Amino acid sequence: MVVKINKEIRGYEETLFFGLSLRQFVCSVLAVGVAVALYFTLRNVLDRETLSWVCILAAAPIAVAGFFRYNGMTFERFLCAFIKSAFLCSGHRVWRAENHLLNAILKESKETSRI
């Protein structure tokens, strides 16, 4: 028995607020919160134009993290995979061919020569 299911069903995400998923909404709220906090913290230190750029640059990565998807991975999983492949498990890798049959024959010949 075969039941046909559309491929779009697997990628279905329920929207919560304003057509955004929960993850996207939370990251958007966090980005706005960071921008507002930076504005009120630095408004007496920096001029308005510089302060607006600082707020944008601080909030943008947080907002992008909510919408980011690469090969089905979220931003955090992608970042972990990138760090693992680029730094933790990187290095010079040598490929050596092993002839298991030859190893078995040599091992067998050593055992028979001892007898």
Closest CA to 30 of 79, 68, 54, 64: 64
pLDDT at 102: 87
pLDDT at 12: 64
pTM value is: 0.62
Residue range 13-49, pLDDT digits in tens: 677 777 888 889 999 999 999 999 999 999 999 999 9
For the chain, how big is the Rg over CA atoms in Å? 28
CA dist list (Å): 11 to 19, 31, 72, 96, 109: 15, 25, 10, 41, 58
Mean pLDDT across 61-78: 92
